[in-house]
Amino acid sequence: MLKLFYAAFAYMVVGAASGLYYRELTKSQGFPEGEFTQLGLAHTHLLTLGFIVLLIVLVLEKVFVLSQSRLFGWFFWVYNAGVVLTSAMLVWHGTLTVLGGQSTAAIAGIAGLGHILVTAGMVLLFLALRSRIVVAGAKKPSKV
C-alpha cells in the first residue's frame, strides 16, 4: 500500500509542477494565451492518470488486497511506465511548440507507445481485480 501511496504523491507533485512549468514557460516566451499546446495535457494526464487513478487503486488494494494477485506487480510497473512515457512526450512536444520548434513522428510514436502501456496496465488491473473479487466471493459463507 505504501508503494501506491508514494507513487500517487509523486504524481501529485509532478503534476502540479508541470502545470507551473506550463504557465511559466508560455508566459516567459510570450506564447499566445489560449493557443493549444500539449503542455496543458501533461498537467492533466499526470494528475488524473497518476494521482487520482492510483488513489483509487489504493482504495481497491485496501478492500480486495490486489497485491495478492500475481498480475498486480505487472500492472503497477507497466501502467506507471505508460503514464511517465506519455507525460514526458507531452512535455517534450508542448515545449517544442512553445519554443517554435517542429515535432517529429518519433515523438508521436513514443507517446503512442506510452498510451499502449497505459491501456495494457488497465487491462492488467482489471484482471487482477477480477481474480481478487472471485477469491473474496469464495470466502463468503453461503446462506442456506
Q: Is the pLDDT of residue 35 over 80?
A: yes
| Domain containing residue 22 | 2-138
Q: Is residue 36 a part of any domain in this protein?
A: yes
Residue 72 in any domain: the answer is yes
Share of the chain above pLDDT 90, in %: 88
Are 120 and 77 in contact by the 8 Å Cβ rule? The answer is no
Instruction: With respect to residue 75, please indicate whether it lies within any of the assigned structural domains.
Output: yes
Q: Kindly give the interhelix angle for 53-64 and 105-139, rounded to the nearest 10 degrees.
A: 20
Q: Is residue 144 part of a domain?
A: no
For the stretch 87-129, pLDDT in tens is 999 999 999 999 999 889 999 999 999 999 999 999 999 999 9
The count of domains in the chain is 1
Q: What is the pTM of this model?
A: 0.91
Is there a domain that residue 143 lies in? no
